[in-house]
Structure formats: C-alpha cells, structure tokens
Structure 1
C-alpha cells in the first residue's frame, strides 16, 4: 500500500475540495499542510512523506493546462486516502496512511449518527477545526459541505452567524475550539442535529452548560488517536455531564473493535483497569 503523489495547498474553500477530490480520483493520496506551519516544519513533512506533487493556489490558477476528460476512479477500499501525522507527544511525529475503508466507516453504518441526507433533512455538515476538514466527504453520504475560512472559524460570533445562515445541521469541533466558543455560539448550537467534539479531553462543565442553555439534538464526545482514522468511539453526552469529573469515551463505532487488556495481554474482567487496544477498519499503524 504505497502513497503515490500528495499535497493539497489551497486555502479552505472550493479549490481545496476540488484538489482533494482530484487527488483521490487519480488513485493517489493527499497530505494536508496547514498554512500556519513554519517553512522548516513544512520542509520536514514534505521530505518525510515523500510527496512528489504540491497542489497550490498558483497551480489551480492555470485551468488551461488541465485534462478535460473525466478519468475513471482508481483504487479501492484498501487504498490510501490521505497521510496524517501524529502530534508527536510521545516523541517524533509519525505518519499514518489512512485507508478509504477507514473513512467510509465514519459515515456509513457508523452506529452513532444518521448522516445520510434525506429530502426532509438535507444535512449540511461542517468540520472546520481540522487541517483536512473534508476527508470524510469521500464516503459520498454528505448532502452538502460548507467551507469556513480561518477568520470566521476563530470568531464565535461570526461562526455562529454562519451556522444559522447556512442552516448547518452537523458540526465537528475539536475540544479546544468547542470549549472556547461554547458560550459565544449560543443559540446557533440548538439548531444542530449533531454536535461532535473531540481530539482532546472535553470539559464536562462546558458540555453541561451547552445541554442546559442551547442543546443540539445530539451532543457526542468522540475519541480516537490519529491511527484510527479520526475517531474510534463515541459517547452521547447526557445528564452525567452535570456531576462527572470526566466524560466517558463511549462505545466503538461501526467496523471498529475495542479491547481492554491486562498486563499479560488478556481481556480484563469487567470493572478492572487495563490498557485500551483498538482494531478494525479504521486502524492503520503509524510509520
């Protein structure tokens, strides 16, 4: 399973979506690069990943050079969709080659949310708080996607207005952004079908406040390391947030397996502490 060419450089918006879909249709894999990265960090990522092609705004501005035929879609569920690096909190960041099957399980038969669009509920998901906000769109279950620029994303007032203006129904926020914007987003949150938060520890006090003041239909705590393709477990946050010191990470999503093993690598009995092991369609070891 080899990552072919990669790289998508345009800012958030239609051009980035076009670049990502084009890379995927070609059978290649992409690697998102945050525009805020230092030149040194960017060069390290490009060298370590082995990326052979960079798609940037200048390249997209030359449409006359593009082929006009619509190529057949290459690759299959086992093919690499994108390359994402771990945070490096335990040492040097490592690259994770996420397969298409890992992405598909996030939206199809996922066991935690009904993302498929219907005539009555044409969900408009938005995932503004990740470097690659549309990687789950590859599954094809989304009705429409909304691209949010960085300035809007970092302003609770502007983001809330955008959520209401575009009638967003599904929102993914990292824990930090959720906790920063929860109060400022106000009534915009109550219009959501699904508000998914994760990527770090979610403060139960903030979750409880949202449930009291502007509750979405479903508020989910999503957990999973980079190696599990975005997340591996979800928990619908309920009344326990009012008194809990921490929130549960929940149960495995579709096509995902979770084991709690003891020091000997055996299944731990119910109620006994152990180490969490994750497997299934979303798992891909870091390299």
Structure 2
C-alpha cells in the first residue's frame, strides 16, 4: 500500500484523538509491516514526544506491563487481542498511561470498562481504519466507565478525513440505516504498488452523490443517534 507523506502528516499533526508532543512517552511495539507503527513512529518523531522502543519479540502481558511502568509510557497502542490479555493477566500495567488506544479487531467493551474503573483518568480510544486510509479512519474515546454500556462505537472521522455510508447503488443512507463505509480525504493511499487492477477496484468514484475519490472499505456500518459510526461486520462475512 503506497502511503503519501500528506497522509502521515494528517494522522499525527493536530491530532484530536490522542495527546502527542513534548512530555508524552509513546510505546513502540508494532512490527514495521503493521500500519500501527506509522502512528507510533511518526506520532513521536513529528511532535517532539519520546519514543520508548520495546525489544523485539512479542512480550507476555506481565513483561509488557513491566516495560510500560519502567519506561513511564503515557500513550500506548495495543491490538484488541493484546489489550484483552494484558487487562486479564496484568491489569496494573496501565497504571501510568494517560491514553490507551486499541483496535485491529473488535475492542472488548467489558475489558475497557474494567480498565477505566481501575485507572481513573485514563482515556481508552477505539481506533478503526484500514491501512488504505493510513492507520485510523475514525476513533471513539471514552474515560467514564459508565458510558461503556455495550460494544464501543468506531466513532467519528479524523480531521482531514470524510466518511460516507452508502447503499448498493452508491447513494447515502440516512442515520440508523445500514450501509457500507467509504472513506475519502487526505489519508487515502495512492493505491497498491504495481497493482493497477486492484487499485481500480478499491479506489475510485463509486457514488453519484459524492464527487471525490473514495476507498471502499467493505465494512458494514450504521450511524447511531449521536452521529457515531457503529461497526456491524464485513460485507463478505
């Protein structure tokens, strides 16, 4: 996936979903081949934050917890699966964090509620997005465990990103109706390197109501009564 510089800048410059900059210590854990590493690396290097690089290899929950506490990490991104394991087997690992971001799969809402009760002041962010739109397309943040009353929304788009929920004819659906999610804006990839056919299939002008270039995520969503996107599954499930 060919990501332009502007897409990386859009991810971390004036980000409204995470606190970056001097005084923050960001965990560097994701493999370089995983798009979350874009946020970890450039979220530190472009904002003046400190990057805390975890040794190579997948740590156990307790090993990761020890690293977070010893390095005084304040911002960490964990896959939904790893978040689940750490919360279950080493729940005190998050004591020093200010913000915990998770995604890559459905974030377990019961674990999110427990970690918020255990660590007042922590913010948990559900980050949704395909690599083709540079790590995150939408986010939803919560700090009050009482607000976690079911599956977490995937939220609202990042600055510089626009999202559309369309039906099978490419027309917008009203809030509450189910449709497929399309993304547009500064985060879009140029396409797939040396694969024009796949690029044409995934990126293009798919809607008579939307005049800009879109990425077809294949994800089924709806907009709830508070204007937040809710992930329902994959079109091909």
Query: In the alignment, what sits opposite 1:35?
Result: none
* Structure 1 residues 104 and 218: CA distance shift in structure 2, 3 A: same
Aligned counterpart, 1:89: none
Contact 2:163 2:183 in 1 (8 A): yes
One of 156, 179, 198 as aligned partner of 1:251:
156
Q: Secondary structure at the match of 1:161?
A: helix
Higher relative contact order (CA 8 A, sep 6+): 2
What is the RMSD computed on CA atoms of the aligned residues?
Answer: 2.0
* Aligned residue in 2 for 1:189: 94
Q: What are the equivalent positions in structure 2 for 1:34-113 lying under 5 Å apart? A: 96-113=1-18
Contact between 2:116 and 2:123, CA under 8 Å: does it hold in 1? no
- Residues 240, 251 of structure 1: CA spacing in aligned structure 2 closer, same or farther, 3 A cutoff? farther
| CA positional deviation for 1:274 | 1.1
> What is the rounded CA distance, in whole Å, between the counterparts of 1:273 and 1:217 in structure 2?
32
| C-alpha distance 215-187 of structure 1, shift in aligned 2 (>3 A) | farther
Task: Using the TM superposition, give the Cα deviation of residue 212 of structure 1 relative to its aligned residue in structure 2, in angstroms.
Answer: 1.8
Q: Which string of whole-angstrom CA distances, capped at 9 and with x for unpartnered residues, describes residues 113-162 of structure 1?
A: 22122xxxx111013134356433345114211111245x4211121111
What secondary structure sits across from 1:277 in the alignment?
strand
Count of residues in Structure 1 that have an aligned counterpart in Structure 2: 186
Tell me, yes or no, if structure 1 residue 140 matches structure 2 residue 46: yes
Of residues 118, 128, 152, the one that matches 2:29 is 128
Is the aligned partner of 1:233 residue 2:138? yes
Give 3-state SS (helix, strand or coil) of 2:90's partner: helix
1:216 Cα deviation from its structure 2 partner: 5.4
Aligned position for 1:50: none
Distance 1:128 1:215 in 2: 24
**Distance between the aligned counterparts of 1:147 and 1:213, measured in 2?**
26
Instruction: Tell me if the contact between 1:164 and 1:191 (Cα under 8 Å) persists in the aligned partners.
Output: yes
CA distance in 1, matches of 2:115, 2:11: 24
For the 8 Å contact 2:164–2:182, the answer to whether it is kept is yes
Q: Measure, in 1, the Cα distance between the counterparts of 2:48 and 2:117.
A: 29
Larger Rg: 1
Distance 2:88 2:48 in 1: 28
1:221 equivalent among 126, 139, 144: 126
Structure 1: runs of 5 or more not aligned: 1-95
Deviation by residue 1:56-111 (Cα, 9 ceiling, x = unmatched): xxxxxxxxxxxxxxxxxxxxxxxxxxxxxxxxxxxxxxxx1111111112211222
* Contact preservation (8 Å) 1:186, 1:214: no
Selected match of 1:167 from 48, 54, 72: 72
- The TM-score with structure 2 as length reference comes to 0.71
4+ runs of 1 displaced by more than 2 Å?
Answer: 129-139, 183-188, 214-217, 237-243
Give the SS at the match of 1:145: strand
User: Which stretches in structure 2 are left out of the alignment for 5+ residues?
Assistant: 196-237
Distance in 2 separating the partners of 1:169 and 1:214? 13
Q: Distance in 2 between matches of 1:217 and 1:141?
A: 21
TM-score scaled by structure 1? 0.60
Shift of 1:241: 6.3
Higher fraction of helix: 1
Q: Is 1:201 the equivalent of 2:133? A: no
